[in-house]
Amino acid sequence: MCSPERLFHILLLFSFTFTAASGQQSLPGKLIRSVDPVFDFCFTPTGKTLAAAINESVNLFRTSDGSLLKTYNNGHHKSILCLDISIDTSFIVTGSKDSAVIVRSFDTGDIVRKYKAHDGPVTCVRFSSAGSYLYSSGTDGTVCLFSIESGTMVFRTKLTEGIITSFDISPDGKLIAAVDSKGKTILCNSMTGEDITVLKTKMGWLRAVSFSNDCKMILAAGDRGVVTRWQLRDGNFIIRDSKKISGNWIYGVDIHNDNNTYATCGFDKSVRVNINGDLYKQEIGSRIFKIRFIPGNDELISIAAATEKGIVTVNAQDMTY
The pLDDT score that the predictor gives to residue 313 is 84
Is 320 part of a structural domain of the chain? no
Q: Which one-letter amino acid corresponds to residue 170?
A: S
pLDDT digits (tens, 9 = 90+) for 247-266: 899 999 999 999 998 999 99
Q: What percent of the chain has pLDDT over 70?
A: 87
Is there a domain that residue 286 lies in? yes
Predicted confidence (pLDDT) at residue 160 exceeds the cutoff of 50: yes
Any domain includes 208? yes
Residue 148 CB neighbour total at 10 angstroms: 19
- Note whether residue 16 is domain-resident: no
At residue 280 the predicted structure's pLDDT band, cuts being 50, 70 and 90, is confident
Residue 29's pLDDT is 60
- Beta carbons of 198 and 185 less than 8 angstroms apart: yes
Question: Torsion over CA of 212, 213, 216 and 218, rounded to 10 degrees?
Answer: 20
Q: Is the dihedral of CA 196, 203, 292, 134 positive or negative?
A: positive
Residue 49 resides in a domain: yes
Q: Is residue 93 part of a domain?
A: yes
- Return d(Cα 98, Cα 215) in angstroms, integer: 33
Q: So what's the pLDDT on residue 6? A: 30
Run of H or E including 2: none
Is the model's pLDDT at 301 over the cut of 50?
yes
Report pLDDT for 315: 67
**Using H for helix, E for strand and C for coil, what is the string for 127-157?**
ECCCCCEEEEEECCCEEEEEECCCCCEEEEE
Angle 296-302-303 (CA atoms, 0-180°, nearest 5)?
115
Question: Among 179, 180, 163, which Cα is nearest to 219's?
Answer: 179
Q: Is 278 helix (H, G, I), strand (E, B) or coil?
A: strand
When comparing pLDDT for 271 and 62, which is higher? 62
Handedness of CA 50, 299, 243, 236 (dihedral sign): positive
Q: Is residue 173 part of a domain?
A: yes
Question: What type of residue sits at position 167?
Answer: F
Query: What is the structure's pLDDT at 14?
Result: 22
Q: Which of 160-174, 249-263, 300-314 has the lowest mean pLDDT?
A: 300-314
CATH (domain of 134): 2.130.10.10
Supply the pLDDT for residue 225.
93
Helices (H), the chain: 4-7
Considering only CA atoms, which of 193, 249, 240, 234 is closest in space to residue 212? 240
Q: Which domain holds residue 38?
A: 34-270+279-295
Q: Tens of pLDDT along 15-31?
A: 222 222 222 333 336 68
Measured between its terminal Cα atoms, the distance across the chain in Å is: 8
26 domain residue, yes or no: no
CA trace torsion 195, 196, 201, 203 (10° rounding): -40
Number of domains in the chain: 1
Question: Tell me: the pLDDT tens digits for 184-201?
Answer: 999 999 999 998 899 977
What is the C-alpha separation between 314 and 265, in angstroms, rounded?
12
